Amino acid sequence: MKKRSSAVAGAIALAALGGGAEAQESSRSCPAGETSCTVGDRVIYLPAFFTQFNPVTALDMVSRVPGFSIDAGEDVRGFGGAAGNVLIDGQRPSTKSTDLFTVLSRIAAEGVERIELIRGGSGGLDVAGQAVVVNVVKKTGDGAGEPSIWEFALVKRRPDGFLRPAGSATFNGKALGMKYGFGVNAYGFALRFTGSENIDRFTDIDERRLRAGEFHEQGGGANLRLEKPFDNGDVGRLNLESEYEHAVEIIDEGRTFETGPPGNAAFARPFEELSFELGADFEHAFSDSFNGKIIAVFDKSYEKFESAFDLIPAAGPVQRSIFNSSQTSAETIGRIEFGFTGLSDHSIQFGGEFARNTIDSSAMLRSDPGSGVFSPVPIAGANTLVAELRGEAFISDSWKVSPKLTIDLAFAMEMSRIRQSGDSANSRFFTYPKPSLKLAYAPNDRTQWRAGAERTVAQLDFDEFVSAVNFDDSDVDFGNPDLRPQRVWEFSLTHERRFGDVGVVELTGFYHYVQDVQDSLPIGGIVEVPGNIGDGRIYGATLDLTAPLGWIGFKNARLQSSTTARDSSVTDPVTGRTRDFSGRPNVFYELEFRQDFPVRKASWGLELSKRDPYREFGLDEVSVFRVETEFDVYVETTRLKGIKARFEVNDVINVTDIRERVVFAGSRATAAPLAYEVRRNNNGGGLRLELSGTF
């Protein structure tokens, strides 16, 4: 339910950590009349390449780069490690909570000079270990103003949903020697949904449940960006962001039994969140070959959540339970980076980072057995304060061994301390080395080999330290004060082949050795908590394809797909047998077809996605989740002067999500099955009409 749709965009100078001269040289290397070209490890796309896609924002352009998909960033510890694979003027925005999709959506396509696809070596850019990145280079100069952007949409869920508006505007300009950007956004979302659940009890009466519900969400926010260039080349930036969200889910459930009178149940779940972020950075060039940057980010959010459950029998009093929780979470990050390019064919970066993360959570469960009086029910671990202090030192070197071979070496040492007080008190200290090695070999402009080996450390979810109530499964989700971050040794080998202006085939094989796998951990054979269940392995391959379809008669059309096939293994802490990881489908794919009609200023397309069923394991249960193929279609046009119109039909075939659950009388290692449940949920499809433009 938690949503962070805020963004902090920003025009960021390319000169910060080197690479500026190289980027400028790249822009002059495309032959006249060409809309794209390859220069070393970079593929340059000029604005004319994207004209057929009718882009309004930089997001529209980046989404159409052949052989590339946006990665918003990994869920790993640290500001540097959590970077996505898109840069703005050679650097990443100084924000951690903002997603790249929204950052790009607030940059007008008219203000983009070119898009650079950088494969393999970082060349001194702030790529944070990514093998492939896109660099959005914005126009500069006195006449290169940044256009403002607006968007308005009407959203409706079908068949019985509600019509809700959404919109945003970003005002960009210059004043008092500064560039500024001020943005506002508001959104609404509402749907009706249905579901069913069949419960076959092997030692008791069977039950059937039919549910109907509504979900309503609304929110909005504002953001401010300031950038001040100085006469000596220094640049300072300030980003402010605030967002508010309110949502509520209401469910009515009818229950019938194999024998006996029917009954009912009701759920109500209101939620609200207020968040804000302050980010700042300052860049200084000590010389032509030595640069520095200071980054500071502060983020804080306040959340309130309530879950009310009423059990309404055919006769007798209503039994009521209410769970209330409130959380305040905060993150403070300070980071300093230096870049040195004084050694021939080397680009060296080094620095350090400090961070403090906290979550202060309080919760209460109250129950009324039918007397009309609520009494508190104790829950271990529901009230707690968790604080983490973390420090990291890092160094990296991008070495251009030859025109065809680039080697990126990096090493970081992280130290952290986690303290927890309240219902569960604990204190722990961790030290993690994080080496990285990446190689890129390009025998020609059309072919590239990439290999990588690195160690990553996952970000702990502090919510898993805190206990909560789950009325859907009549259970308590206990927290675990002894949870450790998962570490992964990641190995990969990629072969990329390009053909024509658009065609790309990329095959990647990967192997991950996972230490301290995070999953459901049994405690004393009685309860389960989020915990570490030992070491495991994930291995597989990903095939990415972008192919033009003119050769089969679809002019100005292309197919883009990504397919992953993988397997995993870990020792089950309950049975002692080898099984796959929880919550990971072994095969999944995404496919998009798009055809453009430049003369008519129109486009249409369809998108498909599918994933295999996957399992989740508990102490006394196993669940299997199944999702049908999702199918979306859309049409776009720019025939209205200065306006891009897009109409989407989401989930055309109205998929049903299915969960099959087997519950045991005790530990599933020894106990007999108690019940078999099948739950089906259908949220309906969606309609969206979106208008956007610049001013």
CA–centroid distance for 562 within its chain: 17
Q: Is residue 255 part of a domain?
A: yes
Q: How many domains does the chain have?
A: 1
379 vs 34: CA distance, rounded Å: 66
Residue where the block lists tokens 């494969």: 119
DSSP codes of every residue in 175-203? ETTEEEEEEEEEEEEEEEEEEEEEEEESS
Q: Where are the beta strands (DSSP E) in 79-148?
A: 86-88, 112-119, 132-138
Q: Is residue 109 part of a domain?
A: yes
Are the beta carbons of 687 and 648 closer than 8 angstroms? yes
Structure confidence at residue 129 (pLDDT): 60
156 vs 110: CA distance, rounded Å: 31
- What is the reported pTM? 0.88
Structure confidence at residue 22 (pLDDT): 41
Residue where the block lists tokens 């696809």: 117
Per the structure, the complete domain to which residue 42 belongs is given by 20-694
Q: Is-cis flag, bond preceding 159, omega within 30?
A: yes
Binned average pLDDT, 10 residues per bin, the chain of 695 residues: 35 35 47 83 89 88 90 64 78 76 88 88 61 87 76 87 91 90 93 92 91 94 93 92 96 92 95 96 94 95 96 91 95 95 93 95 93 89 91 94 92 94 87 95 92 92 83 80 92 94 95 96 84 97 96 92 97 96 95 93 94 94 92 93 92 90 92 94 90 92
Q: Is residue 6 part of a domain?
A: no
412 vs 77: CA distance, rounded Å: 12
For residue 251, CA distances in Å to 210, 245, 657, 680 come to 10, 20, 17, 14
Q: Is residue 229 part of a domain?
A: yes
Structure confidence at residue 513 (pLDDT): 98
| 64 phi-psi bin (left φ>0, alpha ψ -120 to 50, beta other) | alpha
- For residue 230, which of 274, 284, 190, 183 has the smallest C-alpha distance? 284
Question: Quick one: tokens of 144?
Answer: 């290169």
Structure confidence at residue 95 (pLDDT): 75
Strand partners, 257: 207
Are the beta carbons of 379 and 469 closer than 8 angstroms? yes
Q: Is residue 5 part of a domain?
A: no
Q: Is residue 263 part of a domain?
A: yes
CATH number at residue 430: 2.40.170.20
The helix (H) or strand (E) run that includes residue 414 is strand 405-422
DSSP state of 53: G
Structure confidence at residue 54 (pLDDT): 83
- For residue 97, which of 280, 357, 238, 298 has the smallest C-alpha distance? 298
Q: Is residue 15 part of a domain?
A: no
CA–centroid distance for 426 within its chain: 30
Q: Is residue 2 part of a domain?
A: no
Q: Is-cis flag, bond preceding 317, omega within 30?
A: no
Question: Quick one: tokens of 401?
Answer: 């061994």
Structure confidence at residue 157 (pLDDT): 82
